[in-house]
């Protein structure tokens, strides 16, 4: 079999192994510091194999980001409908989903945010591709709750979604810092959801 044939039909298992290794090395060493030699070593393949699959380091980074995006979209698509008229249950399910997505991609997201000024072409994938779909799902949830008469009509839905998202994102970042909080993840999420819901709910009888 010729090299050109191999290039057209890369081994799927090797392909995924290189992507997994690349995600780890990009997160650990940064986008600039990561080398194809180190990624190949991490994946236990020859560097020429890496180039056969992805041609360039830039293509490899794009593939890593696209895989993260695909995984998230699959997770969002398989989520069951939010419980009708149960705002807190819907918010808690959303908070857990968002936290899981952040935890799974946190190292890579932090690296990309730190170096985004040198890789602005990836901003769409990182911010709009990975973070905004979750925000949009929350806006839909809040819109449904408003239609059901659960939250106030004067609540700005995009701003509300950003506030809850920021609380969750900040907590995930802090738990990975040298000075993590002294309360549990579950307690934090329940408190966030309760405080957030109290701020947007309609007053009974209103």
Predicted local confidence at residue 162, as pLDDT: 94
Domain positions in the chain are: 1-60, 79-206
Average pLDDT of the chain to the nearest whole number:
83
pLDDT in tens, 80-112: 766 667 889 989 988 998 888 888 878 777 777
Longest dimension (CA), the chain: 76
User: Do 1-60 and 79-206 share a fold?
Assistant: no
Buried/exposed 49-84: b ≥16 CB within 10 Å, e otherwise: bbbbbbeebeebbebbbeebbeebeeeeeeeeebee
CATH architecture of 79-206: Orthogonal Bundle (1.10)
Burial class (CB in 10 A: 0-12, 13-18, 19+), 143: middle
Predicted local confidence at residue 111, as pLDDT: 77
Distance CA 127, CA 141 (A): 20
CATH code of the domain occupying 1-60: 1.10.10.60
What is the phi-psi region of residue 85: left when phi exceeds 0, alpha when psi lies from -120 to 50, beta otherwise?
Answer: left
**Per this entry, what is the length of the chain?**
206
Give the pTM: 0.72
């Amino acid at each position: 079999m010729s090299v050109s044939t191999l290039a057209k039909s890369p081994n799927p298992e090797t392909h995924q192994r290189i992507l997994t290794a690349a995600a780890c090395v990009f997160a650990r060493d940064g986008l600039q510091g990561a080398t194809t030699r180190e990624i190949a070593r991490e994946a236990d393949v020859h560097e020429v194999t890496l180039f056969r699959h992805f041609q360039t380091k830039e293509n490899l980074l794009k593939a890593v980001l696209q895989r993260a995006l695909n995984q998230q979209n699959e997770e969002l698509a398989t989520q069951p409908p939010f419980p009708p008229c149960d705002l807190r249950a819907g918010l808690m399910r959303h908070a857990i989903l968002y936290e899981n997505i952040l935890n799974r991609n946190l190292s890579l997201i932090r690296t990309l945010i730190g170096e985004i000024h040198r890789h602005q072409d990836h901003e769409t994938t990182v911010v709009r591709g990975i973070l905004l779909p979750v925000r949009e799902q929350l806006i839909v949830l809040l819109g449904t709750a408003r239609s059901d008469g659960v939250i106030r009509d004067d609540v700005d839905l995009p701003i509300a979604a950003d506030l809850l998202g920021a609380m969750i994102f900040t907590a995930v970042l802090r738990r990975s810092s040298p000075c993590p909080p002294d309360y549990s993840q579950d307690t934090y999420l329940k408190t966030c959801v309760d405080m957030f819901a109290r701020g947007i709910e309609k007053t009974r009888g209103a």
